[in-house]
Chain A
Amino acid sequence: MSQVPAPDLARLRARYPQIFDRPASARLATPAMVLLALGVFVFGLVDLDFSPTRFILGLRELGWITSMMLPPDPGSSFPVYLRALGETLSIALLGTTLAAVMALPISLLAARNIVPEVLRFPVRRLLDSIRGIDTLIWALVWINVVGLGPFAGVLAIAVSDFGAFGKLFSEAIEAADHREVEGIRASGGNALHEIRFGLMPQVLPVIAGQVLYFIESNTRSATIIGIVGAGGIGLQLAEQIRVLEWQKVSFLILMILVAVAAIDWISGRLRFAIIGRRAVA
């Protein structure tokens, strides 16, 4: 058997100085970052009034609450909850559709390959600002306008998703392949033909996938906007938590889990049907 010659350490060292003699700044960077992260963490714990006694007392309380939650039981209000769940699903569907319809024209104004930068920049910033505000805050604003109830929830989801869709759609338009549009133009199509036959077939499946995904995620958002009074199952949930009816609370949470899983499944199937298995990831 051949023997492996002993490595010539001195030569290796001379050849790869960046591996053997890393500068102190490179060696210390990681520990310094970890230390900084830990420092901020500890400062946060102190500043946010964390205390072991509160933690342990809270855990005991939480254990008690959990034991009170079992078994889940709606009492006599199951029909009311079912109605509220239907309201939640309606809010999600309507809000998302409304947002998509509003965002489609605006997204053209935010796409680099359609409008000049001068116009694109303010539109982009506007969309960013809308997205920066949480759905719950929009719900509070709309309650001031159309009153308490699910309609305020629809409008809140529509506005906050409008910001997200505007950005996503415009990115889909920017990512579209230019050659297909050129092909249409080469065969004698006008500008409208270019958009209809060159751009839309590329962009629409992407948009449809995103809209379906948002209906899914908005089912989750729609469950909580009731907490501020904008209708849906969140209203029931917040009420039951406040009056400490833990069995009803756990039942409502179960209902939400089941509904979200069902919507996930349906929209997953639809997305497969629209854009094919590969693109869903």
Chain B
Amino acid sequence: MTSAVSILPSQRLAELKGAYRKAVVRKRLRFALAAALFFVALALAGVGAEVNLRTFFTHFGNFVSYFDRILKLDDGAWVWTNIGEWLWGWSKWLKLLGETLLISYVGTLIGAVFAFALNFLAAENTSPARWPCFIVRRLLEFARTVPSIVFALVFVIAFGLGPMAGVFAIAIHSTGALGKLFSEVVENADMKPVEGVRSTGASWVSCMRFAMLPQVIAGYASYALLRFEINVREASVMGFVGAGGIGQELVVAIRKFYYSDVSAILLAIIVTVFIIDIGTGWLRGRLFGKDARK
């Protein structure tokens, strides 16, 4: 049997091989250049961030033993040998966890309402004119680029210590994040129903209500639920700056070296985040079918 692969004449072959080699060399050179640039940036960053490997290695034992320490009670026994002692403050912590959840819920809802009000203006295809689109987009950008904890720091001074500042901080950040996502949903929507409604002489508001909203409402709800999940995490640290929730208790425990309390509160936060993740995942699955689950 003859070979199925026909072999090119050697001159042509050499030409092709040369071209291939050249292409590979060019690719490798580019890769090497990019890698070198990256390592230079990394070295510069190492200097900038005051990386000190000696401190790191001498104290790394502390990091590992930290988890050992937070898992031991004051008398040196493992925390799970005396659950009652470990979770001594459970009623207080549960109340604070509830407050954390409420902060993220109220904040997400306020943020979603504002995002809902603004997103039709921010979407290119539904904005009534160019300038509101531009202004609203810059506003949303500002709201989501400034971290929520910075808003919280300022609001704590304006509204006083307490959960109110945390709620507003989360609400503003959620407005920025959700406004962008909502307007993207609107931009991906089908414009033909809108034209249909407009052809009956309807106003802009009616167009949005009867042609756009039915298409996008499921996407909105899905994103809002996702945001709620994220906000639970954010609300758990709002207390670091005095804006309510469990964070206050945690930062005190860490700073004052109440080791077993740290592990108890962390456990409470992790379990809560798990439950919320699973719960919202289930809810999204129920509301929008399996596809919406992520």
Q: CA A151 – CA B225 in complex, angstroms?
A: 35
A115 to chain B, nearest CB (A): 22
Task: Find chain B residues with CB under 8 A from A80 CB.
Answer: none
Task: Find chain A residues with CB under 8 A from B47 CB.
Answer: 90
Determine which of A223, A224, A241 lies in contact with B154 in the assembled complex, contact meaning CB atoms within 8 Å.
A241
Determine which of B45, B49, B147 lies in contact with A231 in the assembled complex, contact meaning CB atoms within 8 Å.
B49
A107 to chain B, nearest CB (A): 18
Q: Give the top 10 A-B pairs by smallest Cβ distance, nearest first.
A: A90-B48, A58-B159, A90-B45, A90-B49, A48-B163, A44-B106, A44-B102, A61-B158, A132-B270, A150-B49
A254 to chain B, nearest CB (A): 10
A240 to chain B, nearest CB (A): 10
A interface residue count range (under 10 / 10 to 19 / 20 to 34 / 35 or more) = 35 or more
Determine which of A58, A128, A145, A149 lies in contact with B164 in the assembled complex, contact meaning CB atoms within 8 Å.
A58
Q: CA A49 – CA B160 in complex, angstroms?
A: 11
Q: CA A134 – CA B42 in complex, angstroms?
A: 25
In the complex, the chain A residue whose C-beta lies closest to that of B148 is: A224
Chain A residues close to B by CB (< 8 Å) = 37, 40-41, 43-45, 47-50, 54-55, 58-59, 61-62, 65, 86-87, 89-91, 93-94, 97, 128-129, 132-134, 136-137, 140-142, 144-147, 149-151, 153-155, 220-221, 223-224, 227-228, 231, 234, 237-238, 241, 244, 249, 253, 256-257, 260-261
Task: Find chain B residues with CB under 8 A from A260 CB.
Answer: 145
Determine which of A43, A141, A249 lies in contact with B254 in the assembled complex, contact meaning CB atoms within 8 Å.
A141
**In the complex, are the beta carbons of B106 and A65 less than 8 A apart?**
no
Q: Is B226 an interface residue (CB 8 A)?
A: no
The contact string, 1 if C-beta is below 8 Å from chain A, for chain B 156-168, is 0111101110010
**In the complex, are the beta carbons of A137 and B55 less than 8 A apart?**
no
Total CB contacts across the A-B interface at under 8 A: 165
The contact string, 1 if C-beta is below 8 Å from chain A, for chain B 46-62, is 11111110011001101
In the complex, the chain A residue whose C-beta lies closest to that of B266 is: A133
Determine which of A62, A90, A223 lies in contact with B158 in the assembled complex, contact meaning CB atoms within 8 Å.
A62
Task: Find chain B residues with CB under 8 A from A221 CB.
Answer: 147
In the complex, the chain B residue whose C-beta lies closest to that of A128 is: B274
The contact string, 1 if C-beta is below 8 Å from chain A, for chain B 80-109, is 000000000000000000010011011001
**In the complex, are the beta carbons of B154 and A237 less than 8 A apart?**
no
Interface residue tally for chain B (C-beta within 8 Å): 57
Task: Find chain B residues with CB under 8 A from A93 CB.
Answer: 41-42, 45
Determine which of B60, B105, B158, B234 lies in contact with A44 in the assembled complex, contact meaning CB atoms within 8 Å.
B105
Query: What are 9 A-B pairs with beta-carbon distances under 8 A?
Result: A43-B102, A44-B103, A93-B42, A129-B270, A136-B240, A151-B49, A227-B241, A228-B240, A237-B150
**In the complex, are the beta carbons of A45 and B106 less than 8 A apart?**
yes
Task: Find chain A residues with CB under 8 A from B56 CB.
Answer: 146, 151, 155
A94-B45, A142-B63 are known contacts. Are A241 and B157 too (CB-CB below 8 A)?
yes
Q: Within B256-280, which residues are at the interface with A (CB < 8 Å)?
A: 266, 269-270, 273-274
Task: Find chain B residues with CB under 8 A from A91 CB.
Answer: 45, 49
**In the complex, are the beta carbons of A145 and B105 less than 8 A apart?**
no
**In the complex, are the beta carbons of B48 and A256 less than 8 A apart?**
no
In the complex, the chain A residue whose C-beta lies closest to that of B234 is: A134
Task: Find chain B residues with CB under 8 A from A220 CB.
Answer: 145, 147
Determine which of A140, A238, A253 lies in contact with B146 in the assembled complex, contact meaning CB atoms within 8 Å.
A253
Q: Within B268-294, which residues are at the interface with A (CB < 8 Å)?
A: 269-270, 273-274
